[in-house]
Amino acid sequence: MSVLDGLGAALAAGAVEVVDLTTPLSPRTPVLRLPEPFANTVGLSTTPVSRYDEAGPAWAWNDLHVGEHAGTHLDAPVHWITGRGGRSVDRIEPARLVGPAAVVDVTAQAAADADFLLEPEHLEAWEDEHGRLPRNCWVLLRTGWAARGDDPERFLNADEHGLHAPGPSVAAAEWLAAHPHVSGFGVETVGIDAGIAGGFDPPFPAHHHLLGADKYGLTSLRGLDRLPVLGAQLVVAPLPVVGGTGSPARVLALVERTAQEPEA
């Protein structure tokens, strides 16, 4: 039996589960809001073309109006000035979009402090416990923030000082960008940077360092609590928008069940 035949059989038997990590995209899905004078992107809106009516008696379809960076989405290097000479979303090699997931769990710290910052020592402690990050991996930061996803105000968590949400420090962003095995960095929050990262030096260091190093970002993930710390395979499926700085994406994880786990 070939490797792919074995995978197909495992999927059919339920030995490998497909976990959807994507936030459903609707007009209520929270989208990042920048302060004036900066321009903001749009969320999702739809315009009906036909719905089993005179305009199309046997079919229904809609026109979509949506920003590249709405909902669960991928950030391509050209999204940031440090990556402006790099890849647009259509030019990302497909092999970079499939790879092992490494889950770094800081839910307790984020529950105690909405402005919690991931530091290099957290990542080094992860490697001390679980081994070196695997090649071509996606580091996924589990913060528990996905539980806020159905309440836009709680999810964005903004006050007069701006957004408050966990994310990497400048040093952690540098660490991730320099790690040769990291393909991308994914979060449950609205962006790959901490809510207060606009005041860092450089501002928004995850964008600055990761996208400038040909690494990719994933935002608004859900279901990270259903993944093992290590062992899942991530499949990231953005639209190959020509010249796109990013794209809404469906993000799936392949998770091998243990013999003790019952089927859903």
Token pair 């999927």 in the structure block, residue: 11
* Phi, psi angles (nearest 5°) of residue 246: 175, -175
Selected catalytic residue, list 69, 73, 79, 208 = 79
| Residue 157 near residue 143 (C-beta atoms within 8 A) | no
Three-class secondary structure of residue 12 per DSSP: helix
Distance CA 220, CA 32 (A): 11
The neighbour count for residue 120, using CB atoms within 10 Å, is 15
User: What are the DSSP E strand ranges found in the chain?
Assistant: 16-20, 45-53, 56-65, 73-75, 98-105, 117-118, 137-142, 158-159, 162-163, 167-168, 182-187, 216-218, 230-238, 246-256
Q: In DSSP terms, which residues pair with 251 in a beta bridge?
A: 236
Strands 230-238 and 98-105: antiparallel
Note if 130 is an active site residue.
no
Cβ neighbours of residue 54 closer than 8 Å, sequence gap 6 or more:
none
Max Cα distance, the chain (Å): 64
Q: Which helix (H) or strand (E) holds 173?
A: helix 170-178
Q: Which of 209, 212, 207, 216 is nearest to 97 (CA)?
A: 216
For residue 221, give the DSSP letter: B
Catalytic residues: 79
